[in-house]
């Protein structure tokens, strides 16, 4: 950690840990409901749990991205953050809006549009808050001593994410139009600009952790985000197959979605290749494991499992079934949850001055959460495929099929328990690392427990 204002990231990451833990609780509520034990029906009915679960995910990932940006941008641009106080205000405001929204969900106050359930008045507050964040980051980049590709990709990713929130607010009376714009936000976020953010964070981590030359890493960053947009933008078409939009989307969406795994495969190969190529053995092996793990599992979850039901002929039967939940869980975990956790694993020793990355708990967190998530994905896959065959292919009654697949939700709950143990260990390491007190002195062992030679590339750039 070279700049005092980078320390703000810790508060964002601490918020992530809190929101993520809460997200898991709501996941269990839904898992039990699906298994036939909707015991909280009168307090937290399924739709409340569902909206809370997904919105907490979006919230903690965004907070994680913000924290990552507040850490990365000063270091890349070689100056203190423009307005550190604004970052704190903005985090507080974001959490306040989020908590209000989630409390609202428990009182039947929402917009009821999948993933964008936040009530309209709060939407405007989100926009204002994100603009404050963008202004802070933008001003820092603009006034920085250098402009790196990593910082620019990160900045534009965040800026576009903020702008793409707006189409979701266009009012309409037609459900088809409503869905059309909703996917502009949701799809162009997760299969578009969020990948810019993820790519930039990944390249920052790879530069720091592997010691491979910045020019090489950033060149590949361009190629990968190039493939992402080449496939991802028109790949939005896979949401436009069956919602009342023209038939040509079946072809456009089918072809371009089929290319989406290429971008993710590229990302995985790139991360593995850089990790191997790096001559430097960075002491924080856990951070590298999370980074490479992120690239690999995002290929499996977002790329491969996404492709598994994105062809129109297949999607005709899997659209609106638990197969989507299978893909969704591993895609978000691999691509976005893991990149934020990688960033936390990397920065924590610098932010707090305590290096716990060698501890058993750190290793346990990585393996247990990943094995747990893979098992969860398998449970969803079995439930989803069974649902597709019985309900969509054989024409059996919805509720009869749901009873038939209850058993797989017990499998899911077991897998999720394993996952929770892993995340529990991660949070435990976070708590034990303590408050942000790391010293801000380049090269000093306590400020940079992560190997002093790291400064080399900052100096030559």
* Of the candidate residues 131, 163, 234, 458, the single one contacting another protein (CB under 8 A): 234
* Site membership for another protein, residue 322 (CB under 8 A): yes
Using CB under 8 A as the binding rule, the residues of this chain from 376 to 415 that contact another protein are 387, 391-395, 397-400, 402-403
E-only strand ranges, 275-325: none
DSSP conformational letter for 7: G
Question: Applying CB under 8 A, does 250 fall inside the site for another protein?
Answer: yes
Our finding on whether 244 is near another protein (CB under 8 A) is yes
Would you say 41 or 432 has its CB closer to another protein? 41
* C-beta closer to another protein: residue 226 or 445: 226
Q: Which of 310, 424, 325, 320 is nearest to 376 (CA)?
A: 325
Q: Is 460 a binder of another protein (CB under 8 A)?
A: no
Site for another protein in 428-457 (CB under 8 A): none
Closest contact distance (angstroms) between CB of 176 and another protein is: 5
Binding pattern to another protein, positions 344-383, x when CB under 8 A?
A: ----------------------------------------
Q: Binders of another protein: how many residues, by CB under 8 A?
A: 75
Out of 22, 25, 243, 458, point to the residue binding another protein (CB under 8 A): 243
Is 245 a residue that touches another protein (CB under 8 A)?
yes
Phi-psi region of 383 (alpha: psi -120 to 50; beta: other; left: phi over 0): alpha
CB of 55 to another protein, least distance (A): 11
Binding region for another protein (CB under 8 A) out of 242-250, 269-277, 337-345, 452-460: 242-250
Choose the stretch contacting another protein; rule: CB under 8 A; options: 313-321, 349-357, 437-445, 447-455.
313-321
What's the angle, vertex CA 109, arms to CA 116 and CA 58, rounded to 5? 30
| Least CB distance to another protein at residue 316 (A) | 5
Q: What is the dihedral of CA 325, 327, 329, 333, to 10 degrees?
A: -170
Binder among 28, 83, 165, 229 for another protein (CB under 8 A): 229
Residues 6+ apart with CB under 8 A from 45: 38
Q: Does 324 bind another protein (CB under 8 A)?
A: yes
CA distance 79 to 76: 8
423 contributes a contact to another protein by CB under 8 A: no
Least Cβ distance, residue 218 to another protein (angstroms): 6
Among 25, 86, 177, 418, binds another protein (CB under 8 A): 177
Cβ-Cβ contacts under 8 Å for 244 (sequence gap 6 or more) = 175, 176, 179
Q: How far apart are CA 270 and CA 211, in angstroms?
A: 14
Task: Specify the residue, 246 or 360, whose C-beta has the smaller distance to another protein.
Answer: 246
Q: Which stretch binds another protein (CB under 8 A): 11-19, 61-69, 236-244, 283-291?
A: 236-244
**Distance in angstroms (rounded) separating the CA atoms of residues 34 and 32:** 5
DSSP-derived 3-state class of residue 359: coil
Q: How far is CA 17 from CA 64, 91, 127, 346, 425, in A?
A: 9, 14, 23, 15, 11
Shortest Å distance, C-beta 347 to another protein: 27
Residue placing its CB nearer to another protein in the complex, 92 or 320: 320
Q: CA dist 354 to 4, 346, 357, 441, 445, Å?
A: 17, 12, 9, 15, 11
SS3 456: helix
Residue 108: left (phi > 0), alpha (psi -120 to 50), or beta? left
Shortest separation between residue 412's beta carbon and another protein, angstroms: 13
Distance CA 152, CA 144 (A): 11
Contact 91, 119 (CB under 8 A): no
- Is residue 180 involved in binding another protein (CB under 8 A)? yes
The footprint of another protein on residues 20-79 (CB under 8 A) is: 30, 33-34, 36, 38, 41, 45-48, 50-51
Q: Which is nearer to another protein, 187 or 357 (CB)?
A: 187
């Amino acid at each position: 950690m070279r700049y005092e204002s980078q320390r703000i990231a810790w508060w964002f990451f601490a918020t992530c840990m809190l929101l993520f833990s809460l997200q898991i609780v709501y996941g269990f509520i839904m898992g039990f409901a699906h298994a036939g034990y909707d015991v909280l029906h009168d307090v937290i009915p399924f739709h409340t749990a569902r909206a809370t679960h997904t919105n907490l995910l979006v919230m903690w990932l965004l907070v994680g991205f913000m924290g990552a940006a507040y850490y990365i941008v000063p270091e890349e641009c070689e100056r203190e953050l423009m307005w550190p106080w604004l970052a704190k205000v903005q985090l507080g405001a974001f959490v306040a809006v989020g908590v209000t929204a989630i409390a609202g969900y428990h009182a039947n106050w929402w917009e009821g549009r999948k993933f964008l359930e936040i009530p309209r008045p709060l939407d405007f507050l989100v926009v204002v808050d994100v603009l404050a964040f963008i202004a802070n980051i933008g001003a820092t980049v603009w006034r920085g001593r250098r402009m790196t590709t990593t910082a620019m990709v990160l900045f534009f990713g965040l800026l576009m994410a903020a702008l793409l929130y707006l189409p979701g607010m266009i009012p309409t009376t037609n459900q088809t139009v409503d869905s059309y714009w909703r996917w502009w936000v949701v799809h162009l976020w997760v299969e578009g600009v969020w990948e810019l953010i993820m790519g930039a964070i990944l390249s920052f981590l790879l530069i720091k952790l592997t010691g491979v030359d910045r020019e090489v890493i950033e060149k590949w960053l361009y190629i990968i985000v190039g493939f992402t947009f080449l496939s991802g933008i028109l790949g939005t078409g896979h949401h436009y197959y069956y919602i009342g939009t023209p038939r040509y989307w079946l072809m456009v969406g089918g072809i371009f979605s089929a290319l989406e795994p290429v971008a993710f495969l590229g990302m995985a190969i790139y991360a593995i290749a850089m990790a191997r190529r790096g001559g430097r053995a960075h002491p924080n092996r856990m951070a590298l494991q999370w980074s490479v793990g992120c690239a690999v599992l995002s290929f499996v979850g977002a790329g491969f499992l996404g492709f598994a039901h994105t062809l129109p002929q297949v999607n005709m039967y899997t659209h609106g079934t638990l197969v989507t939940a299978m893909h969704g869980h591993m895609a978000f975990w691999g691509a976005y949850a893991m990149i934020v956790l990688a960033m936390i694993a990397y920065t924590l020793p610098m932010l707090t001055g305590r290096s716990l990355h060698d501890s058993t708990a750190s290793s346990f967190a990585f393996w247990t959460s990943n094995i747990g998530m893979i098992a969860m994905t398998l449970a969803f896959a079995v439930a989803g495929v069974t649902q597709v065959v019985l309900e969509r292919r054989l024409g059996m009654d919805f509720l009869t099929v749901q009873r038939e697949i209850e058993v797989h939700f017990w499998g899911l709950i077991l897998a999720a328990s394993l996952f929770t143990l892993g995340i529990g260990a991660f949070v435990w390491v976070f708590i034990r690392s303590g408050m942000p007190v790391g010293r801000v002195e380049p090269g000093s062992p306590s400020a940079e427990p992560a190997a002093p030679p790291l400064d080399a590339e900052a100096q030559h750039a």
